[in-house]
Amino acid sequence: MHKFIAMVGTNSDESTNRKLLQYMQSHYADQAEIELMEIKGLPIFNKPENHEIPAQAQAMADKIEQADGVIISTPEYDHSAPAALLNALEWLSFHIQPFVDKPVMIIGASYGALGTSRAQAHLRQVLDSPELRARIMPSSEFMLGHSLQAFDDQGNLTDQQKATKLDGLFKDFQVFVEITKKLKNANATTYEEVREMDWEKL
């Protein structure tokens, strides 16, 4: 059984993105072990001269490294991913490399009808950056619009079409994870390239 980290892409206490990940955690419990990861509490990234990593960021990195993959659920703020999520990713690429060749599935929930397409596209660019080098599952957008009305009292998705699509994408992600395990021929070199990134020149 795969073990996944599900990163809540916001520091909001009342987030439908957290509800979406909680739904996945419960709904797919017989297929995978999914552990929610919060980004609340991280300090603002300031590129410390002593290279000291906050204990919370290091603990997050350790869990990501041990997981088979990561699911990130992001809202969309001003056509982009939230600052809190980008801040977390900055810490998770500062002299630590948990995302190198790590399979990632991106999903998102929003209150409006447009979904999180721009935030997801932006997040793909960030995760593909030289400092992170994640393996993002292609052609896999899942956007939950009108998310305040999307769940019943038990936390289940009320739109069967959306639920069925997520089922399919989650199965695809598990296949993607297995395929990614075979794409490791350049892993050692990639890891060294990321490890040797000179943050003093960035």
- What's the pTM? 0.93
pLDDT in tens, 154-201: 999 999 999 999 999 999 999 999 999 998 787 877 767 777 666 565
Domain of residue 64: give its range.
Answer: 2-201
> Which residue has tokens 């350790």?
62
Averaged confidence pLDDT in the chain: 92
pLDDT above 70: residue 141:
yes
Q: Could you give the number of structural domains in the chain? A: 1
Residue scoring higher pLDDT (201 or 112): 112
pLDDT above 60: residue 202:
no
For residue 162, the domain's CATH number is 3.40.50.360
> Which residue has tokens 């987030």?
15
User: What per-residue string of b and e applies to 45-74 under the rule 16 or more CB within 10 Å gives b?
Assistant: beeeeeeebeebbeebbebbeebbbbbbbb
pLDDT in tens, 38-53: 999 999 999 888 889 9
CB 20 within 8 A of CB 83: no
CA pair distance 107, 16, nearest whole angstrom: 12
